[in-house]
Amino acid sequence: MTSIERLGINVIKALSMDAPHAARSGHQGTAMALAPLAHVLWTRIMRYDAERPDWPDRDRFVLSAGHASILQYAMLHLTGHGLTLDDLRNFRQWGSPTPGHPEAGCTPGVEVTTGPLGQGMANAVGMAIAESRMRARFGAEICDHRTFVIAGDGDLSEGISHEAASLAGHLGLGRLVVVYDDNQVTIDGGTDLALSDDAAQRFRAYGWHVVEAGDAAEDLDALESGLRAAAAVEDRPSLMILRSVIAAPAPQASGTPAAHGYALFDDEIAATKELMGLPAAETFHVPSAVLDYYRRAGTAGQDRRFAWEARAAALDADRADLEACLAATGRAGWEDVLPSFTPGQSVATRKASSATLKALLPVVPGLAGGGADLTGNTGTAIAEAGVFCADNPGGRQIYFGVREHAMGAIANGMALHGGAIPVVGTFLVFADYMRPAVRLAALSQAKVVFVWTHDSVGVGEDGPTHQPVEHLASLRAIPELRVVRPADATETVGAWQVAVTCAGPTALILTRQGVPVLEGTRAEAVAAGGYVLRDPTDPCVTLVGTGSEVAVCCDAAELLAADGVAARVVSLPSWELFAEQPHDEQARVLRPDLPSLAVEAAATMGWSRWTDEAVGIDRFGASAPGAVVMEKLGITAANVADRARALLRGARPKAAV
């Protein structure tokens, strides 16, 4: 270790104390302990260019132990990614690019949004999948990088890490290197309170290459040697197990559970700085020699980046596919291949989705994914495009197995890596198993297509355990998640247009059972979120439906018409898209001067935003044939017509939309 390296590492440790102390909040100890590891990664191992943090062929870094965010922010500042010392001083403050946990899109150089433990580990598996697919498709001259991860005891304790690690080993994802910081400390006390796993044996059983680095947390050469040995393994992922001392070299806090959080205050910080030979009274101290040293490291990858840009510009036949992959969209004219359906057909929207996905595969080259052991059931079967595996890294069909939580987080990693539009499917009721990853997809605006089928009590005999009733309301509650429940096959095509065109995640909520292709539904109308499907002369009530219940609304309108009651029908496939429309357009569609009734085979929570009353299911379902359950719970044209008549007898229309 040279003198400038020792000084630089001590500066990182000092910044890791100063920023949380300024915020009176944060996690100091892990960042201090791992300062030497971060130094080795950013100066000796990783290939990147700080002036272009989004360079597609950069190495990826994931801080799965996201509570140690100040470590990453310190490195991003020192290497010249755009963070200033003032940004570090404003750690965890309103509007700062240095939030409490790393957030993609908020801070240059942060790849994924981590915080909930284990998520970053699974994100990294997705990144490794995306890199492997891109390299197989475009060659090593276009895609030749690795993914490095720092994980802690908490990450490896969470179930999602088991799911993701098992799949990564099965897929033989070389070029994925995880460093396990085995500091033997948790918030409650020593890890031995609740953990006696042998991580090395567990990961070897998963099919990983394991490097046991021992007490090398302060040995730069040993760290470099271990990382290079791990990175050299191409046929399986690698885990490097590192024993560190949390908060080292703080005289009182080192090795203590308290050091997991904000535990070093004025006297302890000053004493620690004195031990490291830094000015005890000076905060955010970065000597110019240290800054120069790291800034040179930050631009060391420029020549490699320039060479990559020249190679990418020279691409001929593959250029359109590469550009479409990197932009997460389709090639020019991709919408021309979309299927169409004839009114009167009965088509489950999951089957219409499957047909649309297959039509898009040749023209949207980034599409890849599958289901959580429900690939055929959810319409995410694309095996004709090749199965992704160690022997076929260019395959687009990914079999995730029964691993919903990891599947969602892996998809986020694929999307945020770039080059992929991941598609993942399971039953809507199992969205609960995915919820943390779905929430983070929305928070980070990862462009993932979540395909959730078997969307109502129409599932039938499987009973209430498999009949989602509250799930639509819970998904609509997630900010920035675009939920689309198409009425029929035609609207399903429009839902896919939205998913491919728009940024961020899209949830497709699809039926198991066949539903009629309705007269008048329009694929292009889905982008508006809602539109008028039936508009008779002199209407007196509006029926608003989503999904399979739009057909119920149309049938109810016919029953009402037979009684001389003119009913409008509105299809409202996406609340989120409709909420983006101008107020006048919302009013034109919903007609607030008329009483309105929503119809949806789900909990009625939230419908008061749009309609006066709602027909829904505010209880659990039952085990019986789907049509019987629908009838018993009132999702019928007759019941909707009766509710509309009752609404008209005591109508109190909403004052405004």
DSSP 429-474: GGHHHHHHHHHHHHHHT---EEEEES-SGGG-TT-GGG--SSHHHH
Can you tell me the mean pLDDT for 466-492?
98
Let me know whether 104 and 241 are in one domain: yes
If one counts every other C-beta atom within 10 angstroms of the C-beta of residue 333, the result is 8
Q: What phi and psi values does residue 160 have, to the nearest 5 degrees?
A: -60, -35
pLDDT tens digits, residue range 524-535? 999 999 999 999
Question: How many structural domains does the chain have?
Answer: 3
Give the per-residue pLDDT at 604: 98
Burial 291-324 (b: 16+ CB within 10 A, else e): bebbeebbbbbeebbeebeeebeebeeeeebbeb
In a domain, 313, yes or no: no
Let me know whether 165 and 293 are in one domain: yes
Let me know whether 439 and 543 are in one domain: no
Let me know whether 491 and 588 are in one domain: no
Give the per-residue pLDDT at 655: 40
> In whole angstroms, how large is the CA radius of gyration of the chain?
27
In a domain, 319, yes or no: no
Per-chain mean pLDDT for the chain: 96
Q: Among residues of the chain, what percentage have pLDDT more than 90?
A: 98
Let me know whether 232 and 98 are in one domain: yes
How far is residue 183 CA from its own chain's centroid?
Answer: 29
Can you tell me the mean pLDDT for 101-116?
96
Out of 469, 493, 516, a domain closes at: 516
Going from the C-alpha of 583 to that of each of 169, 472, 565, 586, 589, the distances in angstroms are 52, 24, 28, 5, 10
Q: Which domain holds residue 455?
A: 334-516
Secondary-structure breakdown of the chain: helix, strand, coil percentages, each rounded to the nearest 5: 45, 15, 40
558 sits in which H/E element = helix 549-562
In a domain, 561, yes or no: yes
CATH of the domain at 621: 3.40.50.920
What does DSSP assign to residue 101?
Answer: S
SS3 for 251-303, per residue? CCCCCCHHHHCCCCCHHHHHHHHHHHCCCCCCCCCCCHHHHHHHHHHHCCCHH
In a domain, 523, yes or no: no
Can you tell me the mean pLDDT for 426-432?
97
- To which residue do tokens 């620690």 refer? 272
Let me know whether 209 and 287 are in one domain: yes
Angstrom distance (rounded) from CA 484 to CA 477 = 13
Out of 486, 516, 546, a domain closes at: 516
pTM of the model: 0.96
Q: Among residues of the chain, what percentage have pLDDT more than 70?
A: 99
Give the per-residue pLDDT at 316: 85
pLDDT at 654 over 60: no
pLDDT at 619 over 60: yes
pLDDT at 201 over 70: yes
Question: Any catalytic annotation for residue 103?
Answer: no
Query: If pLDDT is split at 50, 70 and 90, which confidence band does 523 have?
Result: very high
In a domain, 88, yes or no: yes
Let me know whether 70 and 94 are in one domain: yes
Helix 159-171, helix 404-417: angle, nearest 10: 70
Catalytic residue (one of 158, 404, 549, 576): 404
Q: Coil, strand or helix: which one is 648?
A: helix
- Got the DSSP string for 152-190? EHHHHHSHHHHHHHHHHHHHT-TTEEEEEE---B-SSSB
Let me know whether 610 and 497 are in one domain: no
Let me know whether 509 and 541 are in one domain: no
Q: Which amino acid type is present at position 11?
A: V
CATH of the domain at 158: 3.40.50.970
- 323 or 316: which carries more pLDDT confidence? 323
366: which 2 tokens? 């980034």
If one counts every other C-beta atom within 10 angstroms of the C-beta of residue 95, the result is 6
Give the per-residue pLDDT at 206: 98
SS3 for 481-531, per residue? CEEECCCCHHHHHHHHHHHHHCCCCEEEECCCCEEECCCCCCHHHHHHCCE
Give the per-residue pLDDT at 415: 98
pLDDT tens digits, residue range 9-67? 999 999 999 999 999 999 999 999 999 999 999 999 999 999 999 999 999 999 999 99
pLDDT tens digits, residue range 377-393? 999 999 999 999 999 99
Out of 481, 516, 551, a domain closes at: 516
Q: Are strands 531-534 and 567-571 parallel, antiparallel or unpaired?
A: antiparallel
Give the per-residue pLDDT at 652: 53
Give the per-residue pLDDT at 273: 98
Phi-psi region of 600 (alpha: psi -120 to 50; beta: other; left: phi over 0): beta
Let me know whether 38 and 123 are in one domain: yes
pLDDT tens digits, residue range 68-81? 999 999 999 999 99
Query: If pLDDT is split at 50, 70 and 90, which confidence band does 651 have?
Result: low
pLDDT tens digits, residue range 563-618? 999 999 999 999 999 999 999 999 999 999 999 999 999 999 999 999 999 999 99
In a domain, 309, yes or no: no
In a domain, 389, yes or no: yes
Give the per-residue pLDDT at 41: 98
Can you tell me the mean pLDDT for 252-271?
94
Query: If pLDDT is split at 50, 70 and 90, which confidence band does 657 have?
Result: very low
Give the per-residue pLDDT at 88: 98
Give the per-residue pLDDT at 154: 95
Let me know whether 132 and 87 are in one domain: yes
Q: Dihedral sign for Cα 57, 58, 59, 65, please.
A: negative
596, with CB counted inside 10 A (0-12, 13-18, 19+), is buried
Q: Nearest CA to 172 among 208, 213, 217?
A: 208
Let me know whether 486 and 619 are in one domain: no
In a domain, 58, yes or no: yes
403: which 2 tokens? 């691993």
Query: If pLDDT is split at 50, 70 and 90, which confidence band does 317 have?
Result: confident
